[in-house]
Structure 1
Amino acid sequence: MDECNPPFEKAYKDLLCDPHAPLLDTVSAQDYDLPLIDASPLLHKTGQERESCVKEIGRASSEWGFFQVVNHGISGQLLNTIRREQEKLFRLPFDKKEKLHIFKDSYRWGTPNPKTLEKFSWSEAFHIPLSGISESEEIKSLRYAIEEFTTKVADLSQKLAEALVENMGITTRLFAENCTMNSCYLRLNRYPPCPMPLEIFGLVAHTDSDFLTVLCQDHIGGLQLMKDGMWVTVKPNPDALIVNVGDLFQVLSNNMYKSVEHRVIANKQERFSVAYFLCPSHDTLITSYKEPSLYKKFTFCEFQQQVQEDVKTIGYKTGLVSFRKSSSSFELYPNYLGSTTSEVS
């Protein structure tokens, strides 16, 4: 196991040995079941059943920014396959993971230049552009599993996004035309066993810089989200997929739906998850569906550039604050801790 783990303790020795590092306020969070939605009417029904499902999705996205879906059209067999192949990938020796070419240098671990333990993530990931899956013969079974999984989850995410705009009372070709395999991402996450889980996050607090994220996780808990000004712990449900609203949908809906802060607490047990990010092409114009809009118009590229600039200059992502027409960051993210994540999530 040690051979496959990133060298956290060596690379971040000074940070991890800080005698003044405070304990994190993670264990006091209450356990919650996310709203659980049967997605089968959305996929296979018409009329009242489908309409009720659309309203359920809209309500959960307004009240929580998160929900779970079952009967989502992705077989348990495929989910088990992607989990098994993901575990095999992360079990490779650390040196080999760093040098893998199958995903075009997508391997990440730890946090770039964290100033405190609160900004440090005890995790590793392959952050994979779907347009960048190579034809290499390396780990062929994983590549096949990813291709099959992304085809299914991409279709599901499109239907969920369409349901959300339908609930807003509009129709749009935005997702079909702009959120394709050339712009979306898959992130394979592993949270290695952590020797000091009360002092370190598995993944620091952040919001997602996309329209929607669809998450497949294992039975090990750890996901927390902000609800009514408090951190709550999501009870794991391996049979359900978790869906959350991203920053772009908050803008599109003019704050009807909320992009909610979330984080992962570290654990002495190993944890895995797979996240699919519904992202548009770089030149896609992001604007609210009604006036007066709370946000300036911007392209996805401009949003990403702002995120990168924030991380470089102040050490964390400020999210939508820079694109708000007026008002303060407190109204957008009253409890925002600041993420050092510079990618999609």
Structure 2
Amino acid sequence: MVKLISNWCMTVKSLPQEYVFPKDTRPGDQVVPNFENCPVIDLEKAGSDDRNDIIQQVLQASQDCGLFQVINHGVSEDMLKDAMGVVKEFFNMPYEDKASLYSLDTTKSCRLYSSSFDYAGETVHRWRDVLKHTCHPLEECVDLWPEKPSKYRDVMGKYSVELRNLSLRILEMIREGLELNPEYFGDELTGAQALLLNHYPPCPEPSLALGISKHSDPNILTILYQENVGGLQVMKDGQWVGIKPIPNALVVMIGHLLKVVSNGKLESAEHRAVTNAEESRYTIGSSINPRNKDVVIEPAKALLEKNDCRPLYRAFSYKDYHQVYKEHRGEGEPTLEVFKIED
């Protein structure tokens, strides 16, 4: 438990050396501009005559940078507040109440840890504490979740169901836009879901540290709730830009696997999280993944036939992809380069 940053961060005045990133990857003192033209899509209109227009907005945003924000998405303001409230309550409990959840075992379906998925193997630690657990099918997962706070299982269970439904709605719009077969994003590709709850405590030297280093998500789709404290940055046109929080909005990020399925038509956002010295930042990520590690990931055949084009990526198993992703530390292009078909 001593590795949890929140246990000791308020007692240090300078950043421990093992958290100092190399000069070429640290954020530095330069002010990063906000992504002023970050697409904001009103999903309420997807149920009206404007549905085709909304689908095209989703596709365009997914092509341009692989990231967009959604409003009027169907997840109530009260639900968002309740979920964030219980997450904050969890991370601020005494460490004794969290000790049984702490683990470096990456195979555990519910675990509390610090930095990244591979604390022991990384050369520089990230400035964050994380609670990660599976959440679908809910009845198979919920008994492994934290028992404290007392409302945790009830609130986060409802939240995970709503986020899964929203994820599938967005994937259905993408399916329609790409003209893929009905039920393409069925259980084979979307049968698993995980929640990733992040706590970024105040950092004594934010210019030297990162909450999460540059990466692309190793899944189909991620939806992030970041409340009102900024810190998410995305690589756009060769520079970092900040994603300014919008009240009650959710950030949607295209994952690596969806980039492959679309044969490179959709982009997978390279992003990172920076820290600040004044206040804690909390986020809730929901990711959609294949449930079976042996499932084959490949460009959609219907898409290749429709556009009369060759596949850019060879078929590979989800298990093999994850191994390569770990070897490349989440770096986007180096990971997918392994599976690219040479000209």
TM-score class normalised by the smaller sequence: 0.7 to 0.9
Pairing 1:251-290 to 2, within 5 Å after superposition: 251-268=260-277, 269-281=279-291, 282-289=293-300, 290=304
Q: Which residue does the alignment assign to 1:238? A: 247
Aligned counterparts of 2:75 and 2:331: Cα–Cα separation in 1: 35
C-alpha distance after superposition, 1:265-290 (max 9, x if no partner): 11112101100101112232211121
Q: Which residue does the alignment assign to 2:221? A: 212
Instruction: Tell me the secondary structure at the aligned position of residue 198 of structure 1.
Output: helix
C-alpha distance after superposition, 1:150-181 (max 9, x if no partner): 1111011011111112111222423232255x
Aligned counterparts of 2:54 and 2:22: Cα–Cα separation in 1: 51
Cα distance change, pair 30–83 in 1 and its aligned pair in 2 (3 A): same
Please state if 1:129 is matched with 2:134. Answer: yes
Aligned counterparts of 2:133 and 2:100: Cα–Cα separation in 1: 15
Query: Paired residue for 1:184, among 177, 183, 193?
Result: 193
Instruction: Tell me the secondary structure at the aligned position of residue 277 of structure 1.
Output: strand
Aligned counterparts of 1:275 and 1:125: Cα–Cα separation in 2: 11
Aligned counterparts of 2:192 and 2:335: Cα–Cα separation in 1: 20
Letter in 2 for 1:122: W
Structure 1 residues not aligned, in runs of 5+: 328-345
Q: Which residue does the alignment assign to 1:87? A: 88
Q: Which residue does the alignment assign to 1:148? A: 158
Q: Which residue does the alignment assign to 1:38? A: 42
Instruction: Tell me the secondary structure at the aligned position of residue 207 of structure 2.
Output: coil
Aligned counterparts of 2:41 and 2:29: Cα–Cα separation in 1: 27
Alpha carbons 2:175, 2:184 under 8 Å: kept: no
Aligned counterparts of 1:17 and 1:146: Cα–Cα separation in 2: 34
Normalized against structure 2, the TM-score is what?
A: 0.83
Cα distance change, pair 19–209 in 1 and its aligned pair in 2 (3 A): closer
Alpha carbons 2:115, 2:127 under 8 Å: kept: yes
Alpha carbons 1:37, 1:57 under 8 Å: kept: yes
Instruction: Tell me the secondary structure at the aligned position of residue 74 of structure 1.
Output: coil
Alpha carbons 1:201, 1:264 under 8 Å: kept: yes
Aligned counterparts of 1:226 and 1:18: Cα–Cα separation in 2: 18
Q: Could you tell me how far 1:260 is from its partner in structure 2?
A: 1.6
Q: Could you tell me how far 1:126 is from its partner in structure 2?
A: 0.7
C-alpha distance after superposition, 1:61-113 (max 9, x if no partner): 11121101111010000000001000000001234323238x95411212424
Q: Which residue does the alignment assign to 1:194? A: 203
Q: Which residue does the alignment assign to 2:113? A: 108
Alpha carbons 1:245, 1:258 under 8 Å: kept: yes
Q: Could you tell me how far 1:301 is from its partner in structure 2?
A: 1.7
Alpha carbons 1:207, 1:247 under 8 Å: kept: yes
C-alpha distance after superposition, 1:115-135 (max 9, x if no partner): 65xx43100111111143216
Aligned residues: 315
Cα distance change, pair 300–6 in 1 and its aligned pair in 2 (3 A): farther
For the aligned residue pairs, the C-alpha RMSD in angstroms reads: 2.9
Alpha carbons 2:195, 2:287 under 8 Å: kept: yes
Aligned counterparts of 2:338 and 2:95: Cα–Cα separation in 1: 38
Bigger drift between 187-196 and 21-30 goes to: 21-30
Letter in 2 for 1:41: K
Instruction: Tell me the secondary structure at the aligned position of residue 143 of structure 2.
Output: coil
Alpha carbons 1:207, 1:319 under 8 Å: kept: no
Letter in 1 for 2:294: D
Q: Could you tell me how far 1:320 is from its partner in structure 2?
A: 1.2
Query: Paired residue for 1:15, among 14, 18, 30?
Result: 18
Q: Could you tell me how far 1:236 is from its partner in structure 2?
A: 1.3
Normalized against structure 1, the TM-score is what?
A: 0.82
Alpha carbons 2:80, 2:248 under 8 Å: kept: no
Q: Could you tell me how far 1:186 is from its partner in structure 2?
A: 0.7
Bigger drift between 166-175 and 246-255 goes to: 166-175
Alpha carbons 2:26, 2:210 under 8 Å: kept: no
Alpha carbons 2:216, 2:269 under 8 Å: kept: yes
Alpha carbons 1:125, 1:188 under 8 Å: kept: yes
Q: Which residue does the alignment assign to 2:338? A: 322
Q: Which residue does the alignment assign to 2:105? A: none
Letter in 1 for 2:245: P
Aligned counterparts of 1:248 and 1:265: Cα–Cα separation in 2: 25
C-alpha distance after superposition, 1:11-39 (max 9, x if no partner): x9442589999963463321124211000
